[in-house]
Amino acid sequence: MSKKFYVTTPIYYVNAQPHLGSLYSTVLADVAARWHALHGEKTFLLTGTDEHGQKIAQAAAAVQQAPKDFVDSFIASFKRVWDLYEINYQYFVRTTDQAHVNAVQAWIIALQKKGDIYKSKYQGYYCTPCETFVTEKDFQELSSIPTCPTCGRITHYLEEESYFFKLSAYQEKLLDFYKNNPDFITPTERIHEVISFVKSGLKDLSISRTTISWGIPFPGDDRHVCYVWADALNNYLSAIGYGNPERKKEFDFWWPADLQVLGKDIVRFHAVYWPAFLMAVDLPMPKKLLVHGWIKIGEQKMSKSLGNVVDPIKLYDTYGADVIRYYLVRHLAITQDAPFTIEDLEHRINADLADDLGNLLNRMMVLAHAQQCTTISSGQVWLSDEIELQKLFEDIVRDVQADMKNYFFHRAYAHVWKFIKAVNGYFHGQEPWKVVKSDRAAFERIIAATAQSLYLISRILWPVMPKKMNDLSSALGVEQVVLGQDHLSELCSYKWDRTFILQQRTPLFPKIVPATTDASSVKQEKVMNNIQAHVITIDEFTKIELLVGTITHVALVPKSDKLYALTVDLGVHGIRQVCSGVRQHFAPEDLLHKQGVFVANLQPRTMMGLTSQGMMLFAENPQGKLEMVTVAGAVAPGTRLR
């Protein structure tokens, strides 16, 4: 039976469309899977979505949707992006799937039986964007408002009954595990920060929440839902059948994961909590975590909350999938954060793909066709220049394999470019367009060596650019990569004896007219879903007259169960009547004599026969209840907000 390779991506929060950062994690996993498929291994790529928790509930509430309808609305766009980018995933897991819910509950029950869970009270800080409990030792400086160690945003204080997982009991076991498996994380240096975090002392982990309801019910206590990370991490198990006796064989076949891809912001969850969760139910550890850096825009991480995300669909429409895959894998080193610019992308597409690779193919094809040399048969007698090329390829394959062991894709594919450049040098140096005039056999040998080289290139680059490299195979008249076949062994002991039937096609990598610096920033704007599109100028803002008003009278509006007619004192701006549809949220006495914020220069409108001369502002809390917008201290009625 062939070896198996189980690789996972993080599961994505569904409070936004996928962006280039999400695509990055997914492409790395796909390239890893395809690299193993090239060895003939049976591969399983898992991806999916993380759909529970406070952050999602809040995002759903903000658009007045039920959480399930809200999360459902994102699935098609994730799948569309993965399909456009040729992500060959075997399963798409959703944490709202019943099979996942069952698996998480089975896992909790196993921990309960083992005595690893107890009930207590959580008192501390929580970061909703990261869905993380923040421990005191995380605060660099104990300021009055602690910030999250991961994202730097302000946390909020929580005090709630909670079930705890005895994480502290796993401290020594984790340290032993890291010691015995120094290669658990790639790049290996990342393990040091993990070890020092664990060494500084692990506290038991709160794994349930009572103040939110959008989550998996905690077994045996419906007032609690499972903490989102305890829920989410288990997707790696639930997707392959954990907890389902009928799928035991499948589960035993795939687990442990061979590679788990994740960004550096979620290392602690994957390198500390996750192994401890697995130890607790006596499951083997994943073999390796691949931790990549961030894609940045300028100096900032690309992220939805900063409004600086690049839209993968817009990129696809402009450049196609494979060149973007190539750029992400080859030019963003997994070890580092890297800026993304259209200028650099276009430069790399032109230099590496159009000039180095595409042009080599074109020149060979044009010349071969012009000389009716389109069928290349095996049995060439190679001379020293070709033998040198062959030796170089043997070295290159070894180097590629060595770097691929650590999933250092950027380095691995840099080796391939050494070979591509050498083949270019060979082709150019041999001057086949001159040789053909005097020595047909030599000409055929040069074309043949170039075709053999291009064949090798098409195979070794297939994990990164599957479609383009299959096109290259077709242009050479050879079969495309076949899953389940060990292509890599062929490359390792390649005999340079394939036959080819060369077919002229449209250029593999059309050259892009590079934008000037100014134009490239316009192009960059175009591929971004940028908050810039929604910004307003200060002049526009000052057009809105926001005034503090005191509510002096609250009247019911006949025949309306929603409206109040408020009498509002706006100081020097006069007394106004403002209709507000908040009767289901507030009793009259909740509003009377309170100060609120009003839009005072809205065009008056008639509601249920009454004229409304302004609008009162409210904010909706995660449970859908409205809260009044007010000022922290008393100010004179009519004070303008600025």
Could you tell me the smallest distance in angstroms from the CB atom of residue 82 to ligand MSP? 13
Give the binding range for ligand MSP (CB under 6 A) out of 20-28, 97-105, 176-184, 403-411: 20-28
Judged by beta carbon, residue 261 or residue 579, the one nearer ligand MSP is 261
Gap between the Cα atoms of 199 and 538, Å rounded:
51
Gap between the Cα atoms of 299 and 398, Å rounded:
36
Judged by beta carbon, residue 202 or residue 295, the one nearer ligand MSP is 295
Gap between the Cα atoms of 639 and 642, Å rounded:
9
Selected from 5, 6, 10, 367, the binder of ligand MSP by CB under 6 A is: 10
Contact between 463 and ligand MSP per CB under 6 A: no
Within 297-356, the residues that bind ligand MSP by CB under 6 A are 301-303
C-alpha separations of 36 from 27, 30, 40, 492 in Å: 14, 10, 7, 15
* Cβ neighbours around 78 below 10 Å, total: 22
Q: Which two tokens stand for residue 469?
A: 């490299």
Could you tell me the smallest distance in angstroms from the CB atom of residue 537 to ligand MSP? 28
Closest residue by beta carbon to ligand MSP:
263
Give the binding range for ligand MSP (CB under 6 A) out of 10-18, 573-581, 587-595, 605-613: 10-18
**Do residues 610 and 565 make contact, with C-beta atoms less than 8 angstroms apart?**
yes
Could you tell me the smallest distance in angstroms from the CB atom of residue 352 to ligand MSP? 22
Contact between 107 and ligand MSP per CB under 6 A: no
Could you tell me the smallest distance in angstroms from the CB atom of residue 338 to ligand MSP? 9
With residues binned 3-state (H G I as helix, E B as strand, rest as coil), the percentages for the chain, rounded to 5, are: 45, 20, 35
**Do residues 24 and 328 make contact, with C-beta atoms less than 8 angstroms apart?**
yes
Judged by beta carbon, residue 298 or residue 609, the one nearer ligand MSP is 298
Within 247-286, the residues that bind ligand MSP by CB under 6 A are 262-263, 265-266
* Cβ neighbours around 200 below 10 Å, total: 10
Selected from 6, 12, 133, 618, the binder of ligand MSP by CB under 6 A is: 12
Rounded to 5°, angle at Cα 589 from 586 and 591: 60
Judged by beta carbon, residue 24 or residue 89, the one nearer ligand MSP is 24
Q: CA neighbours within 13 Å on the CB side: how many for 603?
A: 0
Q: Which candidate, 125, 164, 157, 156, places its Cα nearest to that of 273?
A: 164
Question: Bridge-partner residues for 565, per DSSP?
Answer: 555, 579
Gap between the Cα atoms of 525 and 520, Å rounded:
8
| Residue count, binding to ligand MSP (CB under 6 A) | 21
Contact between 408 and ligand MSP per CB under 6 A: no
Q: Which candidate, 307, 511, 333, places its Cα nearest to that of 406?
A: 333
Within 38-97, the residues that bind ligand MSP by CB under 6 A are 50
Selected from 13, 122, 164, 273, the binder of ligand MSP by CB under 6 A is: 13
Judged by beta carbon, residue 238 or residue 450, the one nearer ligand MSP is 238
List, as one string, the DSSP characters of 301-329: E--GGGTEEEPHHHHHHHH-HHHHHHHHH
Contact between 11 and ligand MSP per CB under 6 A: yes
Contact between 25 and ligand MSP per CB under 6 A: yes
Contact between 579 and ligand MSP per CB under 6 A: no
* CB contact set of 480 (below 8 Å; sequence gap of 6+): 470, 473, 474
Contact between 455 and ligand MSP per CB under 6 A: no
Give the binding range for ligand MSP (CB under 6 A) out of 8-16, 211-219, 362-370, 518-526: 8-16
Q: Which candidate, 344, 342, 443, 453, places its Cα nearest to that of 390?
A: 453
Contact between 397 and ligand MSP per CB under 6 A: no
Judged by beta carbon, residue 24 or residue 35, the one nearer ligand MSP is 24
Contact between 28 and ligand MSP per CB under 6 A: no
Residues near ligand MSP (CB under 6 A): 10-13, 21-22, 24-25, 50, 232-233, 235, 262-263, 265-266, 294-295, 301-303
